[in-house]
Amino acid sequence: MWQDLERMRAARQGRRIEALFAADPARADTFSVRVDGMVLDCSKTQLDTELRAALIALAEGAGVAERREAMFTGAPINETEGRAVLHTALRAPDDARIKVDGRDVMADVRATRARMTELAGALRAGRLRGQGGAITDVVNIGIGGSDLGPAMACAALAPCHDGPRCHFVSNVDGAHIHDTLAGLNPETTLIIVASKTFTTVETMTNAATARDWMAARVADPGAQFVALSSNADAAAEWGIAPERVFGFADWVGGRYSVWGPIGLSVMIAIGAERFGEFLNGAAAMDAHFRTAAPQDNMPMMLALVGLWHHQVCGHATRAVLPYDQRLALLPAYLQQLEMESNGKGVTMDGTPLDRAAGPVVWGAPGTNGQHAFYQLIHQGRQVVPCEFMVAARGHEPDLAHHHRLLVANCLAQSQALMRGRDIDAARALMARAGYSGAELERQAAHRVFPGNRPSMTLAYDRLTPRRLGQIVALYEHRVFVEGVIMGINSFDQWGVELGKELAGALAPALAEGRAPEDADGSTRALLDFVRERA
Ligand code: F6P
């Protein structure tokens, strides 16, 4: 299969994407996937019917459909940890029945959501109060999946905010919690300690600092703490009463957890009803992913074109470029989702992979990126497949002219990447500017754009809670498909462990002023440098 794709790549070498549009005026329609208010346009890539069929055959050969069913029905597909992968249960319709080890898990999911709804409602209505009155600010302390999901969703859904202000602290750098708490009143602040394991050193360090801050002004600080965790015992031991602990099962991976208790800050900010719309959007994408034919299946096509670019064409990175300022945190969110899931070196059975499983994912919102790194995307020697996102409408009707400029820029960028500018056009430009001879040649060379650079565009009507739910679930399932095709486990993250272990040994060394015995020369020298200046 891979060899077929390699052959197709060689056969398409140098083929201009623009020429494909000239040959087939309906191309944009043929290679777009539409789902409920959204369109994914894959036509500005090398995709053609033969290539699409080969990519779909690759997915079928890898057993994506069977694995997908196994995921949705609670089979233990996270094989290295012996767990089901059921974040989809957190957003499943009310009448869903999903069993793990023969037991329906939906009753617990619904009961926990009802408790979240109760707490969020009481906070928003001012019934649940701090020592100094109604809660005005909520601080979510977490990291990785316990931070990126709710922080991203809160920023994305700002137009829906009508609850207490939400803040996010993740970094163990004391500057983060210091600067966040600096403007807050402990008597009207609620602290959410979000940690699946309740052992993550950054989160527990920040939580302890927040407790000290609270204790200096509040008689019963525990009453203003909530825990979101699978480790109820550790939360209780830390001093958070069971009625303030919101648990979730081990089959919810950290980077897939925004749909359940880890999303509490989002629910507090926008209310349970709109949080429900966010879940419903994701559930609609789940149903689509589970039932649509491959070529009409948005996550499937997003994954397959991504695989073509990374695994077959060898483009090492992928840029995510939301032309939507409120999605500013989406690239960081997708970095964890994609790179922690698919940044793996061995297949499920431990065999080393012969090609990289997943690309480097990076990006920033447009139009800002245009004035920073797009230079490289347009003229650098490396090809960066781009994934644009844009809404047809913004949330500021009075500022429609801003939105028109935003959309124009988004569309212009994908057009420019595809079209490029050849040397003749560059020469003509320089001749019009008054250059001639050798200087004209020199100036023209700098103004050539190779073009033929692939991009996809996800367009949607408006960034509502439902659309956000769809978009996030779209990317989750894309990661799933790519992972299955590569034969890896997308749901563990052993690669984060070694650094944590070594940091555990170095932190006391810093306090005690001596390097661990097995430290290398570079680490010793850096420790000395820091100690001498601490
Ligand atoms: O270190 C990686 C990681 O385990 C992520 O997978 C996870 O989202 C994050 O740390 C936070 O973990 P926890 O929610 O257990 O604090």
Whether residue 62 is predicted with pLDDT greater than 90 in this model: the reply is yes
Ligand 1 pocket member 145 (CB < 6 A):
yes
Give tens-digit pLDDT for 419-451. 999 999 999 999 999 999 999 999 999 999 999
Give tens-digit pLDDT for 133-150. 999 999 999 999 999 999
Residue 260 Rama label (left phi>0; alpha psi -120 to 50; beta): beta
Of all protein residues, the one whose alpha carbon is nearest to atom 3 of ligand 1 is 144
Question: Catalytic residue at 196?
Answer: no
Give tens-digit pLDDT for 267-288. 999 999 999 999 999 999 999 9
Helices (H), 395-496: 400-419, 423-432, 437-445, 465-486
CB neighbours of residue 316 within 10 Å: 12
What is the pLDDT confidence band of residue 218, given thresholds at 50, 70 and 90?
very high
Ligand 1 pocket member 255 (CB < 6 A):
yes
Q: What share of the chain in percent tops pLDDT 90?
A: 96
207 alpha carbon to ligand 1 midpoint, in Å? 15
Residue in 496, 490, 499 with CA at minimum distance from that of residue 523:
499
Question: Catalytic residue at 338?
Answer: no
For domain 28-61+292-419+454-492, the question of CATH label 2.60.40.1510 is answered with no
375 alpha carbon to ligand 1 midpoint, in Å? 35
For residue 517, the model assigns a pLDDT of: 86
Rounded distance between C-alpha atoms, residue 285 and residue 289, angstroms = 6
Give tens-digit pLDDT for 78-103. 999 999 999 999 999 989 999 999 99
Helix axes 272-291, 106-124, angle to 10 degrees: 150
For residue 510, the model assigns a pLDDT of: 87
For residue 513, the model assigns a pLDDT of: 80
- What tokens appear for 352 in the block? 């080393």
Give tens-digit pLDDT for 163-175. 999 999 999 999 9
Q: Where are the beta strands (DSSP E) in 215-255?
A: 225-228, 245-246
For residue 352, the model assigns a pLDDT of: 98
Q: CATH top-level class for 94-276?
A: alpha beta
Burial class (CB in 10 A: 0-12, 13-18, 19+), 328: middle
Whether residue 476 is predicted with pLDDT greater than 90 in this model: the reply is yes
For residue 515, the model assigns a pLDDT of: 83
- What tokens appear for 378 in the block? 């347009």
What residue type is 438 in one-letter code? A
Rounded distance between C-alpha atoms, residue 134 and residue 126, angstroms = 5
Whether residue 514 is predicted with pLDDT greater than 90 in this model: the reply is no
- DSSP sequence for 481-518: HHHHHHT--TT--GGGHHHHHHHHHHHHHHHHT---TT
CB neighbours of residue 53 within 10 Å: 12
Whether residue 395 is predicted with pLDDT greater than 90 in this model: the reply is yes
Question: Catalytic residue at 310?
Answer: no
Whether residue 509 is predicted with pLDDT greater than 90 in this model: the reply is no
Query: In the chain, where are the structural domains located?
Result: 28-61+292-419+454-492, 94-276, 421-451, 495-533
16-26: average pLDDT: 97
Set 243, 371, 497, 532: catalytic member: 371
Ligand 1 pocket member 144 (CB < 6 A):
yes
For residue 414, the model assigns a pLDDT of: 98
Helices (H), 131-271: 148-156, 174-182, 201-215, 232-238, 264-270
Task: Calculate the average pLDDT of the chain.
Answer: 97
Rounded distance between C-alpha atoms, residue 181 and residue 218, angstroms = 14
pTM comes to 0.97
Ligand 1 pocket member 111 (CB < 6 A):
no
44 alpha carbon to ligand 1 midpoint, in Å? 37
| Cis peptide upstream of residue 367 (ω within 30 degrees of 0) | yes
Rounded distance between C-alpha atoms, residue 473 and residue 256, angstroms = 9
What residue type is 143 in one-letter code? I
Ligand 1 pocket member 197 (CB < 6 A):
yes
Ligand 1 pocket member 200 (CB < 6 A):
yes
Q: Is the dihedral of CA 480, 486, 488, 494 positive or negative?
A: negative
Rounded distance between C-alpha atoms, residue 405 and residue 399, angstroms = 10
Set 202, 277, 338, 340: catalytic member: 340
200 alpha carbon to ligand 1 midpoint, in Å? 7
Which of the residue ranges 110-124, 362-376, 466-480, 512-526 would you say has the lowest mean pLDDT? 512-526
What is the pLDDT confidence band of residue 471, given thresholds at 50, 70 and 90?
very high
Residue in 161, 466, 154, 175 with CA at minimum distance from that of residue 328:
154
CB neighbours of residue 149 within 10 Å: 27
For residue 512, the model assigns a pLDDT of: 86
Give tens-digit pLDDT for 175-204. 999 999 999 999 999 999 999 999 999 999
What is the pLDDT confidence band of residue 412, given thresholds at 50, 70 and 90?
very high
What is the pLDDT confidence band of residue 497, given thresholds at 50, 70 and 90?
very high
Helices (H) and strands (E) in the chain, counts: 22, 15
Q: What is the dihedral of CA 494, 500, 505, 506, to 10 degrees?
A: 140
Give tens-digit pLDDT for 310-360. 999 999 999 999 999 999 999 999 999 999 999 999 999 999 999 999 999
